[in-house]
A and B are shown apart, each in its own frame.
Chain A
Amino acid sequence: MARNGVWNLLKELDRVAATTVFNGPKAAAERTVRELQQEGPSWTGKFSNSWQIESPLGASGSSKGDGQPGEPRPIYSPALTGQQVVKSILTKDKITFTISNFSNYVPEATDLVESAFIRPTPMPQTQLGLRKFREGDGGRQQPSYRGYIGGGDPNRESSATADLDWFATYVEGGKLDRAVKIEMDDLFS
């Protein structure tokens, strides 16, 4: 192979490797968001449509939900060319995608703080919420954690559309690891 040919091949291999290094975590981040949308609460749907993925490439590789009501809508980071990826990640020693939720109610939704909960509508507005809807024995203790239902006024009602500590369970109970593993395995299969 001519010298230029070898050089071009090496450059191309670099590009493929860089794209792989980028696309694996990108796919894992997208899967993670899809799963978090399913695991988390869904009443109006605003919370599950408020996830965002921040790419190490900045705005060009990032994406976010619209924060609007409705069934969970998956979010996908824009596809990037190998050249874009190579240029951007050559100076980095790690590729980090950041997943977050920009809803105003993240601490309440993830069972981190207590609050006084009032149903915005009598029943969940999404099919996902209706499917996961469960009622407690009586009203809530006020204030309470989102997932603690029942135990309060027997003449009142309480309900939730996600289990208590759903977020901690997703992150620490193996599902996050599984999401990453599936996507990384897919990349090399």
Chain B
Amino acid sequence: MDYQAIRASMESPLLTAFNNLVPPVPVYFDNITAVPPNTTTEYVRVNITFGLTNEPTLTSSVDNARGALVIRIFTEKGRGPARNQQLITTAVNALETINDTAKTTTGVYVKLGEINGPTFSATEESPHFMGRIDTGYTATVLS
């Protein structure tokens, strides 16, 4: 099982998508806390979790894992949802790219499930307006 390869297969397309925006939007992954606190700077957080590994009935392969992919978009509060939704669209497009990637004989093959959201929230304390989507994934490590 190659958890890092599974993680990379989802993180890389998202990082590329947000880096390609003008100006680029910073993306923070798990175990990175260097998020700009209490500023209006927009940014993205991507969290990948692992659920079941090697679930025997999932496929004929035993080298598989399931989990959740959660994307949170932070944009300036009090300026409407448009910018947040633009960035969510970027994320969803990246997820669709992952799903459209054909299965090969090596590497990691990832299929994403339905996307929940987006849902939006804002709190009094935070300078940000938050958009959130999440989806489940199934990853198979191919030899």
Interface residues of A (CB under 8 A from B): 107, 111-116, 137, 141-143, 145, 148, 150-152, 163-165, 168-175, 178, 181
Contacts and interface: CB of A to CB of B under 8 A. Distances in A.
Given A112-B119, A112-B121, A114-B125, A169 B51 contact: yes
Majority-rule SS of B interface residues: strand
B33 interface: yes
Contacts of B67: 169, 172-174
Closest CB pairs A-B (n = 9)? A173-B51, A172-B136, A151-B33, A174-B52, A174-B66, A169-B49, A168-B68, A172-B68, A143-B125
Contacts, number: 83
Nearest to A143: B125
A103 B134 CA distance: 23
Contacts of B134: 165, 168, 172
Interface in B96-134: 113, 116, 119, 121, 123, 125-126, 130, 132, 134
Contacts of A164: 47, 49
Contacts of A165: 47, 49, 68, 70, 134
B23 interface: no
Contact of A173 (B49, B57, B126): B49
A184 B68 CA distance: 24
B35 A142 contact: no
B49 A168 contact: yes
B116 to A, nearest CB: 8
Most B CB within 10 A of own CB, among A137, A141, A150, A169: A169
A118 to B, nearest CB: 12
B78 interface: no
